[in-house]
Structure 1
Amino acid sequence: MGPVLPTLLLILAGLLVGGAWSLYRQDAPRGAIVVTGLLAVLATVGGVLWLLPGEG
């Protein structure tokens, strides 16, 4: 499958960061901003870790 999945995760992370920023600018509830930001961080970490060389 190659680098398709990590690329999709990093694209998702970018969308989530944009969403979190948009929520922040609209004075959305803090919980929604935090959850969206945490999902962005998880997607970024997942995408980056997937690209790191490992055993195999």
Structure 2
Amino acid sequence: MSTDVAVVLLFTLAGFLIGGAYTTWKTTRPLAISLGVGALLAVAGAVLWLL
């Protein structure tokens, strides 16, 4: 897999996780927090992979 493809997929995953965290914030806060942490990890992985 190309480096560019992996970075784009990680950013896409982060976007979906952020959307899920935003959607579930009012109903299930612990799940929203865990989705937000997963999104931060995906973004960090993409940035580190890009370097």
- TM-score, reference length from structure 1: 0.81
Task: Supply the AA of the counterpart residue of 1:2.
Answer: T
Where in structure 1 are there 5+ consecutive unaligned residues?
none
Q: Please report how far the alpha carbon of residue 2 of structure 1 lies from its aligned counterpart in structure 2 after TM superposition.
A: 2.8
Task: Select the structure that is richer in helix.
Answer: 2
Which residue of 1 is the match for residue 29 of structure 2?
30
Where in structure 2 are there 5+ consecutive unaligned residues?
none
- TM-score, reference length from structure 2: 0.87
State the SS of the aligned residue for 1:3. Answer: helix
Q: Please report how far the alpha carbon of residue 33 of structure 1 lies from its aligned counterpart in structure 2 after TM superposition.
A: 0.9
Which residue of 2 is the match for residue 17 of structure 1?
18
Superposition RMSD in Å: 0.9
Q: Please report how far the alpha carbon of residue 30 of structure 1 lies from its aligned counterpart in structure 2 after TM superposition.
A: 1.7
Q: Aligned residues: percent identity? A: 42
4+ runs of 1 displaced by more than 3 Å?
Answer: none
- Structure index of larger Rg: 1
